Structure 1
Amino acid sequence: MTKSTLKLHLEKLSAVFQEAEKMKADETLVLDALSARTVAQTLKLLTKQVGLLELEVSILRDSEAGVRLAATAEQLATGELAGMLDAAGANVIRPNFGGNRHE
């Protein structure tokens, strides 16, 4: 099974109407049923592929926005932590796990 591409379908659609390029503006182009079905099927496939491309672009945009959001959150958290460390100054908390009590 060959891979469907927008280019391939557009070329197929273009081929159906190729005769129109040789015709005068006032001439009538008549499509047989097979050509009309080809046009309809091609348009249906193109519509589906465009929908999938739009979904892919939307997902990529959301992903990029998530990366930017994570970077911003990291910067804000780092800034907040630095502010907390500055505010603590020389205060050091030493845990007493040995059970010795200094009161």
Structure 2
Amino acid sequence: MDYLIKRISYLQGLADGYEIDTSTNEGKILIELIDILAETIDEMKERSEDLEDYIDIIEEDLSDLEDYVYDDDDDMDFDLYDDDFDFDDIEFDDEEEIED
């Protein structure tokens, strides 16, 4: 984004330095295009900053929610990842068949 801002500023400087004649149709178009580009880049920068602020707020809210939801792990009576569980200890009755 900063690169674009520098390029637009450079174009504005060139337009001022070359003293583009704004009384001609071409001069009016060039100056107007440069102004539109500058305004568009400024608006994009502002929106980008707003989005960054909004993302920061969402991250904070998500962090608060995670703390609320996951901080009660000490109160849980079971372990979701029980390493002592062994599937070999389960007995399956091979005689039972599933009937259609």
TM-score, normalization by structure 2: 0.58
Is it true that 1:7 corresponds to 2:13 in the alignment? yes
Name the structure, 1 or 2, with higher relative contact order (CA <8 Å, separation 6+): 1
Q: RMSD between aligned alpha carbons?
A: 2.7
Q: Percent identity?
A: 12
Is it true that 1:84 corresponds to 2:69 in the alignment? yes
**Unpaired segments ≥5 residues, structure 2:** 1-9, 91-100
Q: 1:10 to 1:77 in 2, by over 3 A?
A: same
Is it true that 1:48 corresponds to 2:33 in the alignment? yes
Matched with 1:20 is none
Matched with 1:94 is 80
Matched with 1:30 is none
Looking at structure 2, the residues matched to 72 and 36 of structure 1 have their Cα atoms a distance apart, in angstroms, of: 49
Matched with 1:26 is none
Note if contact 1:9-1:42 (Cα within 8 Å) is conserved in structure 2.
Answer: no
SS at match of 1:84: helix
Looking at structure 2, the residues matched to 77 and 36 of structure 1 have their Cα atoms a distance apart, in angstroms, of: 56
What displacement does 1:44 show? 1.5
Matched with 1:22 is none
Q: 1:63 to 1:36 in 2, by over 3 A?
A: closer
* Number of residue pairs aligned between Structure 1 and Structure 2: 76
Paired residue for 1:74, among 59, 63, 67? 59
What displacement does 1:70 show? 1.0
Bigger shift: residues 73-82 or 62-71: 62-71
Q: Hey, which bits of structure 1, 4+ residues long, moved more than 4 A?
A: none
